[in-house]
Chains A and B, each alone.
Chain A
Amino acid sequence: MSHIHIPDGVLPVWLWLSGWIVAVALVWLASALSARSDIRRKVPLVGIVSALVLVAMSSEIVPIAYHINLTVVAGVLLGPQLAIISAFVVQVVLALLGHGGVTVIGLNTLMTMTEMLLGWALFRGFVKLLGRGHVRAASAVTTVITLAITTTLLVGLVAVSGVTAATARETGALNPRNLTFASPFSKGVVGIGLFSGRQTATAPAVGLKRFATIVYTLGPIGWIIEALVTAAVLGYVARVRPSLVFEGPLAVAEPVLPGDEHGVH
């Protein structure tokens, strides 16, 4: 669950605005830290890996409303600092292509970022535990755990936004008359009928339980598909070019010119 598929104008303003503030702060921090080190030479790598994630996300498995994300792969390849930048870039481009809202870019960045960072940390931990010969198993387990955690985060996010039977959900629009966030479903066009305007508003029976049930039913199918793809891709890369997987982006050796193997000109 690399990003929340909730459109603009559904989540409360305070929630998506907080998402934006935290995400922007983290992106600025990552950029500032990058300025101190030689990460700048890896900007094309950030671009390429982000593009790879976007290409993977563009193919959707319709029956379960899931698409491959490759976020764990991106996290392993980029490392924590660059992963934060990549998560933001991916979400901005996705929003511009109409996939995912603009107001939720902040929250989506945090979700993707969490997935990439967790993926990176867990993968390294599992490789240490299981050994370098078990990259596929390490990546599969990492992916399933990571996706399970971020799916739970998504359900938590929806719970925080007020989608419960007790509280009416609001669209995030501030009512200037009384400076409160009024529920459109309790007194707007939905609540009082399309034209009558006289019916009494009723509190909606919105089910967080229903939402969680659907997400946790369809989600695991997606997690398994993602785990298989991640395991296959990382297993292949670990076999063909191990330094990419085991040493991180900054450890990738610079190409050596023929005749300059020892750095002598």
Chain B
Amino acid sequence: MDIAVLDRSAVSGRSHLHDASPRTKLLAFALVLASIVVSSNLFIVVALALALLAVITAERLPARQMLPLAAYPAIFAAVFAIASAPDALAAALIIAKAVTAALGAVTLMFTTPYPQVFAVAQRVTPALVGDALLMTYRAIFILAEKFADLTRAVRLRAGISGTHPIRSAQATTRALGGLLLYSVDLAQREYDVLVLRGYSGRLKVAERPSRSPRTDQSLIAGSLAALAVAIVWRVYWASVINYSWIPLAAALLGLFAALLFRGRNR
């Protein structure tokens, strides 16, 4: 998980989605999620995934980094699907739901800096949880980098090698132990610095307003449309089941259009 790429895209990316208000993006994400929850039609869920891919393509987001992250839950969903689904289509539906929901979440995080996402969350969570969320996310970067440095140092001193798996495992767990001690000291230092800067039990993050109200409106309209389609195919499934291919074809067309548009503007 290269979280630095995610953060770079969220902070320095330039797309319409980056300009939209974080609150709107969270609402749109919630609506997309509701569509996934409501839908029991594989075609509708796949159409939703393709629509999200079309948005990612049109907005020139770093798809190469986003797709592996979105595909990661598929491994675990596949185990659950294989273990419990009655047939292949049901299994495909479970995996499609996992990947589509992850794609929605990853799109949100690749276009919104994490303090902005948590600023919205902070309004509904206790102070302790809100602060812990911010500190956790920040600490992931520090620890991931430190752990990479530690394992590199151990490898350079021949502590990790393919021919000695037990010695390698011991060296890696010692590195983890070292990282843990480093983390505890870091936590203490961090608290001291926060107190010096006037921390009184609440980290306040101001919500950034929208830079493109039109994008906000489009996002809400698009995600509402997705939810409406999912509800129609859920409630009136007997009447519309024969037309399940329409949303899928529309999403595919959208994706091709986005690819074409992207290719021409290159």
Residues in chain A within 8 A of chain B (CB atoms): 5-10, 13, 27-28, 31-32, 34-35, 39-52, 54-56, 58, 60, 62, 65, 73, 77, 85-86, 88-90, 92-93, 95-103, 158, 163, 169, 171-173, 175-177, 184-185, 187-190, 192, 194-197, 204-208, 210-211, 213-215, 218, 228-229, 232-233, 236-237, 240-241, 244, 252, 255
Complex Cα distance A197/B241, Å? Answer: 6
A13 to B34, CA, bound (A): 11
A45, B241: Cβ atoms under 8 Å?
A: no
Q: How far is the CB of A70 from chain B (nearest CB, A)?
A: 8
A177 to B108, CA, bound (A): 33
Contact in complex: B144, A55 (CB < 8 Å): yes
Is B98 interfacial (CB 8 A cutoff)?
yes
Is there contact, CB below 8 Å, between B177 and A237? yes
A41 touches B129 (CB 8 A): no
Docked CA distance A193–B132 (Å): 48
Distance in Å: Cβ of A244 to nearest Cβ of chain B: 6
Quick one: which of A7, A55, A188, A241 contacts B98, CB cutoff 8 A?
A: A7
Are B36 and A9 touching (Cβ within 8 A)?
yes
With contact pairs A7-B101, A55-B147, A255-B188 given, residues A44 and B135 touching in the complex (Cβ less than 8 Å): yes
Asked if A6 contacts B80 (CB within 8 A), the reply is yes
* Assembly CA distance A55 to B147 (angstroms): 9
Q: Say yes or no: A228 contacts B80, CB within 8 Å.
A: no
Chain A residues in 8 Å Cβ range of B241: 189, 192, 195, 197
Question: A85–B129 contact, CB under 8 A?
Answer: yes
Instruction: Let me know if B117 is at the binding interface, CB within 8 A.
Output: yes
**A47 to B: closest C-beta gap in Å:** 3
- Complex formed: what's the CA distance from A116 to B163 in Å? 35
Which A residues are CB-close (under 8 A) to B83?
207, 210-211, 213-215
CB pair B84–A207 under 8 Å, yes or no, is yes
From the candidates A65, A93, A187, name the one contacting B137 in the complex (CB within 8 A). A93
Q: Which residues of B contact A163 (CB under 8 A)?
A: 84
Report the minimum CB–CB distance from A176 to chain B (whole Å): 6
For A60, list chain B residues within 8 Å (CB). Answer: 72, 75
Q: How far is the CA of A206 from the CA of B142 in the complex (A)?
A: 44
Given contacts A52-B143, A189-B244, A228-B169, contact A97 B37 (CB under 8 A): no
Rounded to whole Å, the gap between the CB of B148 and the closest CB of chain A is: 10
Query: B27 contacts the other chain (Cβ, under 8 Å)?
Result: no
**Chain A contact residues: over half helix, strand or loop, or mixed?**
helix
Residue in B70, B79, B178 whose CB lies within 8 Å of A98: B70
Given A5-B73, A89-B132, A197-B241, residue A96 in contact with residue B138 (CB < 8 A): no
B181 contacts A by Cβ under 8 Å = yes
Most chain B CB within a 10 A radius of its CB, from A31, A40, A188, A206: A188
Helix, strand, loop or mixed for chain B's interface? Answer: helix
A236-B79 contact in complex given A43-B128, A47-B132, A96-B108, C-beta closer than 8 Å: no
Shortest distance between the CB of B209 and any CB in chain A (Å): 22
A48-B183, A48-B187 known; A184-B40 Cβ under 8 A: yes
Known A-B contacts A98-B72, A214-B82; A48 and B139 likewise in contact (beta carbons under 8 Å): yes
User: Does B93 lie within 8 Å of A98, measured CB to CB?
Assistant: no
B233 to chain A, nearest CB (A): 8
Residues in B neighbouring A173, C-beta threshold 8 A: 37-40, 234
Chain A positions within 8 Å of B137 at CB level: 51, 93
In the assembled complex, B173 has its CB within 8 A of some CB on chain A: yes
Given contacts A44-B187, A197-B238, A237-B181, A99 and B72 within 8 Å (CB-CB): yes
In Å, the complex CA distance between A219 and B109 comes to 31
Given contacts A40-B201, A98-B72, A215-B83, contact A194 B132 (CB under 8 A): no
Interface string of B85-98 (1 = CB under 8 A from A): 11101100111011
Q: A65-B78, A88-B129, A189-B40 are in contact. List 19 more A-B contacts (CB 8 A).
A: A8-B37, A9-B38, A31-B126, A44-B194, A45-B184, A47-B131, A47-B135, A47-B136, A48-B187, A51-B136, A54-B140, A60-B75, A96-B108, A101-B98, A190-B42, A190-B89, A204-B87, A244-B181, A252-B188
- B69 with A97: CB separation less than 8 A: yes
Interface residues of B in 11-45 (CB under 8 A from A): 33, 36-43
Residues of A within 8 A of B177 (CB): 232-233, 236-237, 240
Closest-by-CB residue of A relative to B98 is A7
